[in-house]
Amino acid sequence: MKKIIEVIIAFFKDMPPLRAFRLFAAILVLDIISLMALGSINPLSLLNPLGVFFMEDKDERAELTLVFPRSYVSGVTDIAEKQTLEVRQKVYWKSKSPEGRVQSVILALLAGPDSHAARPFLEDSTIVRKFWLNGDELVLSLASDSWLALPEETRRLAVYCFENSLKKNIPEIRTVVFTPESI
Helix axes 152-169, 98-111, angle to 10 degrees: 140
Q: Is 40 left (phi over 0), alpha (psi -120 to 50) or beta?
A: left
Three-state SS string over 107-120 comes to: HHHHHCCCCCCECC
Residues 177, 125 share a domain:
yes
Q: What was the pLDDT predicted at 93?
A: 77
Mean of the per-residue pLDDT values of the chain:
80
Q: Are residues 50 and 71 in the same domain?
A: no
Residues 154 and 83 in one domain: yes
Least confident range from 4-8, 44-48, 76-80, 173-177: namely 76-80
Judge if 86 and 172 occupy the same domain: yes
d(Cα 109, Cα 102) in Å, to the nearest integer? 11
pLDDT above 80 for 130: yes
Same-domain status, 38 and 12 = yes
Q: Which domain holds residue 46?
A: 2-54
Q: Are residues 71 and 142 in the same domain?
A: yes
Question: Any idea what the CATH number is for the domain that residue 139 is in?
Answer: 3.30.70.2210
Q: Specify the number of domains making up the chain.
A: 2
Domain limit, last residue, from 15, 37, 54:
54
Confidence label for 119 from pLDDT (cuts 50, 70 and 90): confident
Q: pLDDT of 136-145, one tens digit each?
A: 888 888 887 8
Domain C-terminal end among 11, 34, 54: 54
Q: Do both 20 and 66 map to the same domain?
A: no
Position 22 confidence tier, pLDDT thresholds 50, 70, 90:
very high
34-58 mean pLDDT:
72
> pLDDT value at position 59?
62
pLDDT digits (tens, 9 = 90+) for 56-87: 666 677 788 888 887 766 555 556 556 777 88
pLDDT grade for 183, boundaries at 50, 70 and 90: very low
Same domain, 139 and 82: yes
Same domain, 38 and 122: no
Q: 32, 54, 76: which is the final residue of a domain?
A: 54
CA–CA gap between residue 79 and residue 26 (Å, rounded)? 68
The reply to whether the predicted model has a pTM over 0.75 is no
pLDDT at 8: 81
